[in-house]
Amino acid sequence: MQNVPAPDITPSTANVCQNDIVNYSTAAVTGHEYFWTVTGGSCTGCGVWTTSNTISVTWTTPGTGSVSVIESTDGSHSVTGTDSKSYNVSASINSYAVSAASATICENSSTNILLSGSQVGVTYQLRNNADNSSVGPSVPGTGGALSFPTGTLTATTTYNILAYNSGCQLQMTGTPTVTVQPLPTITLSTGVAEVCYGNTSAPLAYTATTQSPTHYSIDFDAAANAAGINDVSNQSLSPSPIVIAVPNNIAPNTYNGTLTVSNALCVSGNYAIQVVVHNIPSGSLTSSDPDNEICAGDNVTFTATGGVNYHFYLNSSSVQNGASNTYSTTTLSNGDTVTVVVTDANGCSANYPGITITVHPVPSVNPVTHN
């Protein structure tokens, strides 16, 4: 008695792709013959008894396909065994073009990768072309164009899109590169623009820039705006310093703002700045003579307060300039006026009202002659 053959078709993977060519086989046994049949595809060596235990199948029709084999122990085909496997034939995937909505973007921004078309029943995955890692969630085909967000980018990145269904996969046409430009920067000296009360220009010094910024903007807070400092929008960036306009009667205080610089493509991050308005010195100028009337040759000392530097003038001519807050003289003439410019630690100056001196001549005494 002959044993009944027990063929086993491999591979048995259930999902295949339309137009795939797959080789199927069962174990070869010497002297045995095989009768292969296929549905859903075409094959070489099917429909006839053959000694070949292998066939090549081209899957042509989406849907359910099958591969069957009858194995006979000899040419009489009186003792046979059978095996059949079913396969899911997925429709082939069409290729569509991949492009970038923006080929160049700024650091820390994003764009979209575009697919010119899609198929219903096919899933599409955006990938980093460097390692084919997934970027964001997969997107089902709609029959129309698709858009894939890149997310925030900090470096230049190249992308591809993989399309797949249960049995097929195909990388779409094109691997667009999104070039990421670094943001412009500015290096501020201190971030503080100082100005003395009564002046209208506060200089904000900087030492360097990167990425060639050409313009700047400043957004001042509500308190600064209320005090009369206006926001600045897209002004040309000149060599240091940036000059900030302030009202001449603005109250001494610290005012806050946010600076950005920009080039043709990108805007920098935010830089916190301050405009500091200093009060001017408010001391006094006095003389050592209570009524400012003296005799010619008398010594008079003038004393000023409220600063760190004192520039004394006699009738508008400089007579003393330095840290000393006193100026003494014995050479005053009638009607001479002494004034002082006082400068404080912030570099702010004030002209104090002058003091005019009345100088009386010393009475002359005639000598007494004795005869």
* DSSP calls for 249-283: TPPSEEEEEEEEEE-SS-B---EEEEEEEEPPP--
Dihedral sign, CA of 213, 217, 220, 225?
A: positive
Task: Please compute the mean of the pLDDT values over residues 68-96 and round it to a whole number.
Answer: 95
Question: How high is the pLDDT of residue 370?
Answer: 62
In a domain, 2, yes or no: no
Check whether residue 196 and residue 137 sit in a common domain: no
Spatial separation of the C-alpha atoms in residues 364 and 52, rounded to whole Å: 151
Q: What is the mean pLDDT of residues 290-312?
A: 97
Mark whether 298 and 240 lie in a shared domain. Answer: no
Kind plus residue range of the DSSP H or E element containing 124 = strand 123-128
pLDDT at 369 exceeding the cut of 70 = no
Instruction: Reply yes or no on whether the pLDDT at 53 is more than 90.
Output: yes
Q: DSSP states of 50-90 as a string? A: ES-SEEEEEE-SSEEEEEEEEEESSTT--SEEEEEEEEEEE
What is the secondary structure of 21-50 as a DSSP string?
EEEEE----TT-EEEEEEESEEEES-SSEE
Q: 181, 216, 234 — which closes off a domain? A: 181
**What SS3 class is residue 101?**
coil
Q: Is there a single domain that holds both residue 260 and residue 305? A: no
What would the mean pLDDT of 202-227 be, rounded to a whole number? 98
d(CA 60, CA 46): 15
Give the residue, 78 or 183, on which the prediction is more confident: 183
Tell me the pLDDT tens digit for each residue of 322-351. 999 999 999 999 999 999 999 999 999 999
In eight-state DSSP terms, residue 230 is P
| Cβ atoms within 10 Å, residue 71 | 23
Looking at the structure, do residues 346 and 302 belong to the same domain, yes or no? yes
Q: Residue 7 falls within a domain, yes or no?
A: no
Work out the average pLDDT over 100-117.
98
Mean pLDDT across the chain: 96
Averaged pLDDT for residues 300-307: 98
**Does 266 fall in a domain?**
yes
CA distance 302 to 330: 12
Look at residues 130, 165, 181 and tell me which one is the last residue of a structural domain: 181
Find the domain containing 202 and state its range.
Answer: 185-278
- Residue written as token pair 């000149």: 238
Task: Write out pLDDT tens, residues 131-172.
Answer: 999 999 999 999 999 999 999 999 999 999 999 999 999 999
**pLDDT value at 45 more than 90:** no
pLDDT band at 363 (very low <50, low <70, confident <90, very high): confident
* Whether 248 and 298 share a structural domain: no
CATH number, domain of 210, equals 2.60.40.10
On whether residue 312 sits in a domain, the answer given is yes
Tallying the residues shown for the chain, one arrives at 371
The reply to whether 8 falls in a domain is no
Residue 1 has pLDDT above 80, yes or no: no
Residue 368 has pLDDT above 90, yes or no: no
Kindly report the CATH number assigned to the domain that includes residue 137: 2.60.40.2470
Taking CA atoms, 309 is separated from 190, 287, 312, 349, 356, in Å, by 25, 18, 10, 9, 22
Which residues make Cβ contacts (< 8 Å) with residue 343, sequence separation at least 6? Answer: 281, 307, 308, 309, 310, 311, 349
How far CA 104 is from CA of 121, 173, 216, 334, in Å, comes to 33, 20, 22, 79
Q: Are residue 138 and residue 86 in the same domain, yes or no? A: no
Of 56, 90, 124, which one is at a domain's C-terminal end? 90
State yes or no: pLDDT of 366 exceeds 80: no
pLDDT for 342: 98
pLDDT greater than 70 at residue 50: yes
Tell whether the model's pLDDT for residue 365 goes beyond 80: no
DSSP character at residue 132: T
Question: How many independent structural domains does the chain possess?
Answer: 4
pLDDT for 92 equals: 96
Is pTM beyond 0.95 here?
no
Task: Provide mean pLDDT across the span 76-100.
Answer: 96
